[in-house]
Amino acid sequence: MKVVVCVARVVDTDEPLPVRSGKVALEEEGLRHVLNPADEYALEEGLRLKDRFPGSGVTAISMGPPGSESVLRRCLALGADHALLLWDEAFRGSDTLATARILAAGIRQVGADVVLCGKRASDGDTGQVGAQLAELLDLPAVTSVLQLEVKDGEALVHRRLERGRREVLRCPLPALFAVEEGINRPRYPKLRVLLRSRAAEVPRRGLADLGLRPDEVGEMGSCAQVVDVSPPKPITKGLFIPDSSLSPEERWEQIVSGGMEERRGDVIQGPPDTVAERLLQFLTQNNFV
């Protein structure tokens, strides 16, 4: 089975970022980049398919600047068999659809029975590329995947829905799956493989190799344009004054947490049965039971 996992290098959003108003992008200097956390789960799911179906190959593929080699090496260290970087200066500024076009061209060349993606990139957070890639490759696709079971040329997939519902879908292969974070527990690299991955050659393909036109990719091929990036505007609240009866530490915590608005609710007191009855009334009146 041929498995392709799409991965991305992202800005590490666990660290505070130098966001300044009016800029279109962050200043690259000093930013830490990591393998997109959601993609680690996608890769792990691919590696599990390889464990289950001997003779399978896992290819990690990424669209991004040369620095993305580091995350592809990380995939090799974790157990991917091949890595492929798709980059050309013409790709710079691609929106999700242009990115999907580039990845689609790469995947067509490599060939895939199963394409795996993470749910979203932690920096751009669009969650669009997977579904768009599936449309461009004309593959059946399931997003928000919580469980993936491949058997006899088809997949049984659990898709996460709101309010705790799950859809179980049957999907023929080849297909694309965008997996949820937490679908599995990603493995650690083996030292031997990790060391080997550091010296591995990561092949690169550009515009001409992929047979793409300059007006399909990059800024020229993108519809959505970021006008500016700014620090998020806080939701304004009334002036908050911490309760003076609290210890300084607790007051400080209240201030830091944005303050708790006091709710003026009714106090119910009395014998347990009366109280329980009043509570039940509140619950039924508000349709909670």
Partner 1 sequence: MREEPTGGVWVIVDHTGDEVEGIALELLGQARELADRLGLSAAAVVLGDDVRGLAPLLGQCGADSVYLAEGPLLGAYNPDAYAPLLADLIHRERPLIVLWGATDQGRDLAPRVAARLGTGLASNCTRVDLSEDGLLLMTRPVYGGQASCNVVCPQARPQMATLQPGAVPAKRPDPSRQAQVIAVDVSLSSQSLRLRLEEVIKIPPSALDVTEAEVIVAGGRGVGSEAGFHLVEQVAHLMGAAVAASRPVVDAGWAPYERQVGLSGKTVAPRLYIACGISGVNHHVVGMKDSRAVVAIDQDPQAPIFQIADVKIVGDLHQVLPSLVERLRRLRQERGTAEDAEVLRTLTDVPAARRDS
In the bound state with partner 1, the residue whose beta carbon lies nearer, of 175 and 210, is: 175
In the bound state with partner 1, the residue whose beta carbon lies nearer, of 201 and 215, is: 215
Query: Minimum distance between the CB of residue 72 and partner 1, rounded to whole angstroms?
Result: 22
Query: Minimum distance between the CB of residue 121 and partner 1, rounded to whole angstroms?
Result: 10
In the bound state with partner 1, the residue whose beta carbon lies nearer, of 74 and 101, is: 101
Query: Minimum distance between the CB of residue 221 and partner 1, rounded to whole angstroms?
Result: 9
Q: Strand 57-63 relative to strand 2-6: parallel, antiparallel, unpaired?
A: parallel
Note the Cα 240 to chain centre separation in Å: 36
**Residues 260-274: b if buried by 16+ CB within 10 A, e if exposed:** eeeeeeeeeeeeeee
In the bound state with partner 1, the residue whose beta carbon lies nearer, of 46 and 174, is: 174
In the bound state with partner 1, the residue whose beta carbon lies nearer, of 225 and 236, is: 225
Q: Establish whether the linkage from the previous residue to 66 is cis, with ω within 30° of 0.
A: no
The SS3 assignment for 45 reads helix
State both tokens at 200. Answer: 């591995």
Query: Minimum distance between the CB of residue 136 and partner 1, rounded to whole angstroms?
Result: 6
Query: Minimum distance between the CB of residue 289 and partner 1, rounded to whole angstroms?
Result: 5
Question: CA 264 to CA 245: how far, in whole Å?
Answer: 19
Tell me which residue has tokens 């399931």.
142
Tell me which residue has tokens 């109280």.
275
Query: Minimum distance between the CB of residue 253 and partner 1, rounded to whole angstroms?
Result: 5
In the bound state with partner 1, the residue whose beta carbon lies nearer, of 55 and 164, is: 164
State both tokens at 89. Answer: 């200066």
- Do the beta carbons of residue 205 and residue 142 sit within 8 Å? no
**114: nearest Cα among 160, 200, 50:** 50
